[in-house]
Amino acid sequence: MKIPPVKGTRDFYPPDMARRNWIIDGWKRVSVRNGFEEYDGPIFEYLKMFQIKSGDEIVEQLFSLEDRGGRELALRPEITPTLARMVNQQISSLPKPIKWFSVPRLFRAERPQKGRLREFFQWNIDIIGVDDVLADAEVILTTIDYLREIGLTPKDIKVKISSRKLLAVFLRSIGIAENKLESLYTLLDKKAKLPEDTFEKLLTEQVTNKETVTKILNFMNCNSIPDIPKLITKENKEFYAYKNVMLVFDYLETMGVKDYCEFDAGIVRGLAYYTGVVFEVHAVEGELRAICGGGRYDNLLRDFGGPPISATGMGMGDCVLEILLKEKGLLGKSLPKKELDYFVAFAKGYGGGTVYKVAAELRSRGFSAVFSYKTSAGLSKLLKEASALNAKKCVIVGQEYLDNKQLVIKDMATGKQELVNYDSLFTQLKPESK
């Protein structure tokens, strides 16, 4: 009876695993060099925890279960609630700022489609306890640091940056009621996806006043920071929000990544909990969904029963990234090749236990060594196997071993061979000679 893989999951055969590790190792390496420390939590949590941040609708998109004690649990669809829980538990003893990263395996019971599966990996970085937008800039810098390292240039991708705070003060200044903001965010977030007239129509339905609609459209289409003051009043609050956006770009310029960044008032993010700088990374060409997104969230720790400490972070899934890298031909280019120090072969009739003994001795000294299971194969076949494994050197056990306890060492790159005494082979070897 054949059992197929579960909908929306992936099998990672060795070549797929190599790609996955390459991506994840890059995430981890870049996190560490940007000063982030790794953390992780359980793969399932109380169902309740995911409702705090995201509400009840989200429950339908969770894999939930009940344990034998009747506890309502769910596989984690994101790790930020876990982060909030963990930080709150030890908040008073953790040195600030908290700069943590994680690469959790996440689960969402959504219908799979391009760049979206039911099980995936996501790189998360967060800075907790810094109000200054310098922290937002550093999160963006770290994101770019990775994307740049894997070969993506400002011609390939753009970080589109805006501010929820700026949007909020703007909307309030033109008379939008506080309780309408949230539903308006959801609509504004779709601007780039909807046709222009459809968007305008939906906006008019929500706002009714034609003049207000025009003001919002003008603001949303703004992609130049110097133009912002023309659109907002010069009251303190608004000017402060505007200055903060300017400041982010100043920091990013100082950090040398301004080429990757642009202001785009159309970036809103669907989620309610963002309160400050928000950003998404998009491919310049193509219709691909956002590669990653993030922003500042001021209230999350408090919502999870902790102190009102501000935080900012970023999440990047592996699915969309992999699609983009394939399109750009950047995946596999820099993948590490198979590595093998020694292949231990034998000339027909001379194998026996010596082959396994040599391999075991090499392994015990820290070298990788492989022997063949084809006990009756000819040397030709065995060397072919050694080549397929990308072996650096090949040890051949043959007549010389019977005659003088000597082994043939063949350098697979140059083809050169030398005779070495069995006893001296291992004493000559030092790990550095790898």
Residue linked to tokens 């590790």:
21
HEC readout, 337-361: CCCEEEEEEECCCCCCHHHHHHHHH
In angstroms, what is the minimal distance from the CB of 225 to RNA? 24
Applying CB under 7 A, the span of 89-97, 112-120, 161-169, 225-233 interacting with RNA comes to 112-120
In angstroms, what is the minimal distance from the CB of 226 to RNA? 28
Q: Which of residues 219-238 bind RNA (CB under 7 A)?
A: none
Assign 422 to helix, strand or coil.
helix
Q: Does 54 bind RNA (CB under 7 A)?
A: yes
Q: Does 243 bind RNA (CB under 7 A)?
A: no
Q: Which of residues 351-380 bind RNA (CB under 7 A)?
A: 374, 377-380
Q: Which of residues 73-92 bind RNA (CB under 7 A)?
A: 77-78, 80
| DSSP alpha helix (H) spans, 337-429 | 353-364, 379-388, 399-404, 422-428
Q: How many CB atoms lie within 10 A of CB 192?
A: 16
Applying CB under 7 A, the span of 91-99, 176-184, 235-243, 398-406 interacting with RNA comes to 398-406
* CA-atom Rg of the chain in angstroms: 29
- Helix 196-207 vs helix 210-220: angle between axes, to the nearest 10 degrees? 130
CB nearer RNA, residue 258 or residue 392: 392
Q: Does 417 bind RNA (CB under 7 A)?
A: yes
CB nearer RNA, residue 254 or residue 417: 417
How many residues of this chain bind RNA (CB under 7 A)? Answer: 60
Q: Is the peptide bond before 226 cis (omega within 30 degrees of 0)?
A: no
Q: Where are the beta strands (DSSP E) in 57-156?
A: 64-66, 72-75, 98-102, 105-107, 119-128
**Judged by CB under 7 A, which of 104, 266, 293, 351 binds RNA?**
293
Distance CA 375, CA 199 (A): 71
Q: Does 426 bind RNA (CB under 7 A)?
A: no
CB-CB contact of 328 with 151 (8 Å): yes
Q: Does 386 bind RNA (CB under 7 A)?
A: yes
Q: Does 350 bind RNA (CB under 7 A)?
A: yes
Q: Which of 79, 75, 103, 80 is nearest to 8 (CA)?
A: 75
**Judged by CB under 7 A, which of 26, 41, 112, 306 binds RNA?**
112
**Judged by CB under 7 A, which of 113, 179, 208, 433 binds RNA?**
113
Q: Does 3 bind RNA (CB under 7 A)?
A: no
Q: Does 344 bind RNA (CB under 7 A)?
A: no
CB nearer RNA, residue 77 or residue 129: 77
Q: How many CB atoms lie within 10 A of CB 190?
A: 14
In angstroms, what is the minimal distance from the CB of 337 to RNA? 10
Q: Does 245 bind RNA (CB under 7 A)?
A: no
CB-CB contact of 77 with 107 (8 Å): yes
Assign 428 to helix, strand or coil.
helix
Q: How many CA atoms lie within 13 A of 249 on its CB side?
A: 18
Applying CB under 7 A, the span of 55-63, 155-163, 248-256, 333-341 interacting with RNA comes to 55-63
Structure tokens at 208: 């009714």
Assign 78 to helix, strand or coil.
coil
CB-CB contact of 323 with 114 (8 Å): yes
Applying CB under 7 A, the span of 134-142, 170-178, 347-355, 425-433 interacting with RNA comes to 347-355
Q: Does 110 bind RNA (CB under 7 A)?
A: yes
In angstroms, what is the minimal distance from the CB of 358 to RNA? 15
Q: Does 269 bind RNA (CB under 7 A)?
A: yes
Q: Which of residues 295-324 bind RNA (CB under 7 A)?
A: 315
User: Number of helices (H) and strands (E), helices first, in the chain?
Assistant: 16, 17
**Judged by CB under 7 A, which of 29, 48, 71, 193 binds RNA?**
193
| DSSP alpha helix (H) spans, 290-332 | 300-303, 318-327
CB nearer RNA, residue 53 or residue 215: 53
Q: Does 381 bind RNA (CB under 7 A)?
A: yes
CB-CB contact of 105 with 77 (8 Å): no
Assign 149 to helix, strand or coil.
helix
Assign 125 to helix, strand or coil.
strand
What is the per-residue binding string for RNA in 198-217, x denoting contact by CB under 7 A?
--------------------
Interaction site with RNA (CB under 7 A)? 4, 6-8, 50, 54, 57-58, 61-62, 77-78, 80, 108, 110-116, 186, 189-190, 193, 269-271, 287, 289, 293, 315, 347-350, 374, 377-381, 383-384, 386-388, 390-391, 396, 398-400, 408, 410, 412-415, 417
